[in-house]
Amino acid sequence: MKFKVWLIRGGVSASILCALTLVYLSVLFQRNVEKIELEWSNAQPGQITNFGSTKILSILPLVNWHTRDESLKGEAGVSYLIKTDHNTILFDVGFNQKRESPSPLEHNMKRLGISLDSIDTVFLSHAHLDHRGGQQWVNKNTFSMGLEQADLSDKRIFALTATTYPNAELSIIPHETVLGEGIASLGAISRQLVMGKIEEQALVINVEGKGLVVIVGCGHQTVPKILQRVSEVFNASLYGLIGDLHYPIPEGRLSIAGINLQRILASGEGPHSPITIDTMEQEVELLKKTGLEVIALGGHDTSDQVIEYFNSAFGDGYSYVRVGESINIAE
């Protein structure tokens, strides 16, 4: 009898401790959200005016969920090959979730005839595993295109946060920065997620005769803040938005034990307020008001249902993001 009472008391105590822990974490989460929002409202980003332009812009998905055909490998990660008049940029390096050799990025580059020698710049949008080659590299504050780190000693490498790479010199650029002729970083935009604080930067390219094209890795910044920062930093109009905007509605691509990780853990509203269809629809209307002419939505963190919603909403201005299928903005 005493043992049974002890078990009951122990169970009640554990339940109370668990409840108190959840309350504490919720309060801490909300405080961090408020701190980031205060920093955002007080931010005074610099202006980038005459940073040149490019006559050519093509964006080739190298890693994403959907592929052009079965000879290419898709996964819940991101990598784009971006070509302008003067630069060839590798934007993020994928996930390699299965730790394959060759990785999906390496496999797809070989299938598409892309040599590492043709790339002069590496741009890292943020420090999440599906953009840096896997958690093992994130844990070491680095990144990799595959199971082994390739020689990037002759590349320019740009990251937001402290990052290292063997025999290479990295530039840490937390603020809006010109990176080349017609190429700039939008700078860090922070967000408190359930999984922790994240800072993400987008790439902005000025296309001659058209305007600004923004290339996004994951969209943790949120569409409203991306659009606000673009208008604050640049004096040119928005022409296109390419990349991933994080709409895992109703389901994301990554689930464990039935838990939709992308929808819950990557929410900026707390574990009890996952991303909703209403938020997505409001942001679509916001994008429409900008008058942009080209939009392409990646599927590594966005459901097929939302992709088709965007296709319907933007019509001829919409392009699918498929590995091996180039999005040509200007030729």
Quote the pTM value. Answer: 0.91
Q: Mind listing the pLDDT tens digit for each residue in 267-288? A: 666 655 677 889 899 999 999 9
Q: Where are the alpha helices (DSSP H) in 85-239?
A: 104-111, 129-132, 135-138, 223-233
**pLDDT surpassing 70 at residue 101:** yes
Q: What pLDDT is stored for residue 22 in this prediction?
A: 53
Angle between helices 304-314 and 277-290 (to 10 degrees): 30
Residue 29 lies in a domain: no
- Section 89-110 average pLDDT: 97
Residue 32 lies in a domain: no
Residue 27 lies in a domain: no
- What is the DSSP code string of 205-269? EEETTTEEEEEESS-TT-HHHHHHHHHHHBSS-EEEEEE------S--S-EETTEEHHHHTT-SS
Q: What pLDDT is stored for residue 14 in this prediction?
A: 61
Residue 1 lies in a domain: no
- Section 212-231 average pLDDT: 96
Residue 10 lies in a domain: no
Residue 89 lies in a domain: yes
Domain count of the fold of the chain: 1
Domain holding 75, by residue range, is 52-330
Residue 122 lies in a domain: yes
Range of lowest pLDDT (39-53, 188-202, 268-282): 268-282
Looking up residue 137, the CATH number of its domain turns out to be: 3.60.15.10
Q: What pLDDT is stored for residue 195 in this prediction?
A: 75
Q: What pLDDT is stored for residue 7 in this prediction?
A: 43
Cα 135 from Cα 195, distance rounded (Å): 14
Q: Mind listing the pLDDT tens digit for each residue in 280-320? A: 999 999 999 999 999 999 999 999 999 999 999 999 999 99
- Section 177-181 average pLDDT: 97
Residue 315 lies in a domain: yes
